[in-house]
């Protein structure tokens, strides 16, 4: 029979020696940077060559009834391409050679700065980006998801860096400082470990928890099945397990954890106590989320240049769509 004492003793053992033992038996793999860059370039080229047909399909199902007023200067397809290209090149100049095919998609496009700015609050563009996200998941055959989730923040002030602030504030960084001006936007991303695609994501100006709730709402609306989920200690609460039903959830319990809670919590704590090695192997698969988010920030930067809330959300969505496009290739 599982007891609270058993859970807390196992947590103590992990803190004292099991974690170090696990790390010794699972050394970090050294990355072959030459091979990595070659594969990345190939994935980028594959994404760009498939971008136009995917956008064609994404916008083909959208039919908007327009009232009075000036019609858009560009077609919806051109607007989607333009905002994606703008986000890509405004943030990074890496792998230009792999992306030359993009420029032919923008031939004969001539608009002003304000027109580009308004793309970030264009509801048609927002719908087309969502369709694009759904099509990519469908293309890769994503249905049943073994996931990891992680939150991060994007700076809205050039003078403040999210990683630096996280070192100072620890877990408090996950919630907005009510006494300060809006400094960060919080993002939570749900990663499919089999394809490295983001299956859902959420954004919040208040807290990472609210971003998590939005990401889970997006996932539930997708019709996909969540088989398992790996989260950091911030989500080691019985309430999260209760909402996730029968989904297997891997977290490291907090020091004051108890056996009391929903059935799913008790089941996972039993596995944590009785089969700790295998449990830790599953839990540490969440490092994939950390590495993928880190790669995204190297591509697109750690800050967001937009200022309006809706436009900030669109900018982050573009980065998420590009992440999935770069992982569109099955190899």
pLDDT number for residue 172: 65
Instruction: Please tell me the pTM assigned to this model.
Output: 0.88
CA distance 87 to 98: 16
Q: Which long-range contacts (CB under 8 A, 24 or more apart) does 132-135 make?
A: 132/54, 132/55, 132/58, 132/80, 132/321, 133/320, 133/321, 133/324, 134/222, 135/54, 135/57, 135/58
Residues 104-133, buried b or exposed e (16+ Cβ, 10 A)? ebeeeeeeeeeeeeebbebeebbbbbebbb
pLDDT number for residue 30: 66
The pair of three-digit structure tokens given for residue 229, joined into one six-digit string? 């989920």
Helix (H/G/I), strand (E/B), else coil: 227: strand
pLDDT by residue for the chain (331 residues), tens digit each? 789 988 988 888 887 766 676 666 666 666 665 687 888 888 989 999 999 999 999 999 898 877 777 777 889 999 999 899 888 886 544 454 566 677 777 777 777 778 888 999 999 999 999 999 999 999 999 999 999 999 999 998 866 666 666 666 666 667 776 655 578 899 999 999 999 999 999 999 999 999 999 999 999 999 999 999 999 989 998 889 999 999 999 999 998 999 988 999 999 999 999 998 899 999 999 999 999 999 999 888 888 988 899 999 999 999 999 999 999 988 7
Q: How many helices (H) and strands (E) does the chain have?
A: 13, 5
Burial class of residue 47 (count of CB atoms within 10 Å of its CB; 0-12, 13-18, 19+): buried
CA distance 99 to 47: 9
Annotated domain spans of the chain: 1-29+144-300, 31-63+74-139+304-331
CA distance 248 to 266: 11
pLDDT number for residue 309: 93
CA distance 125 to 118: 10
């Amino acid at each position: 029979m599982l007891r609270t004492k058993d859970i807390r003793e196992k947590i103590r053992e992990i803190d004292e020696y099991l974690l170090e033992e696990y790390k010794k038996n699972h050394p970090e793999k050294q990355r072959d940077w030459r091979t990595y860059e070659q594969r990345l370039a190939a994935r980028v080229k594959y994404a760009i060559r498939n971008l136009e047909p995917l956008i064609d399909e994404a916008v083909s199902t959208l039919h908007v009834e327009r009232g009075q007023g000036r019609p858009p200067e560009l077609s919806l397809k051109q607007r989607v391409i333009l905002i994606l290209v703008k986000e890509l090149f405004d943030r990074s100049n890496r792998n230009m050679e792999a992306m030359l095919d993009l420029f032919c998609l923008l031939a004969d496009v001539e608009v002003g700065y304000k027109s580009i700015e308004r793309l970030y609050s264009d509801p048609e563009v927002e719908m087309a980006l969502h369709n694009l996200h759904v099509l990519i998941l469908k293309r890769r055959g994503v249905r049943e998801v073994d996931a990891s989730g992680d939150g991060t923040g994007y700076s809205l002030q050039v003078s403040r860096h999210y990683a630096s602030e996280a070192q100072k504030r620890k877990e408090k960084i996950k919630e907005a400082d009510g006494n300060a001006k809006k400094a960060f936007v919080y993002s939570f991303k749900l990663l499919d470990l089999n394809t490295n695609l983001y299956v859902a994501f959420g954004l919040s100006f208040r807290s990472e928890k609210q971003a998590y709730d939005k990401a889970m709402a997006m996932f539930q609306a997708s019709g996909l099945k969540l088989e398992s989920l790996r989260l950091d200690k911030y989500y080691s609460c019985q309430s999260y397990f209760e909402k996730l039903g029968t989904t297997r959830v891997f977290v490291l319990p907090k020091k004051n954890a108890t056996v009391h809670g929903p059935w799913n919590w008790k089941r996972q704590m039993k596995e944590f106590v009785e089969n700790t090695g295998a449990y830790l192997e599953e839990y540490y698969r969440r490092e994939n989320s950390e590495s993928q988010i880190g790669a995204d920030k190297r591509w697109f930067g750690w800050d967001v240049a937009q200022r309006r809330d809706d436009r900030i959300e669109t900018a982050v969505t573009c980065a998420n769509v590009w992440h999935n496009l770069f992982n569109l290739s099955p190899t």
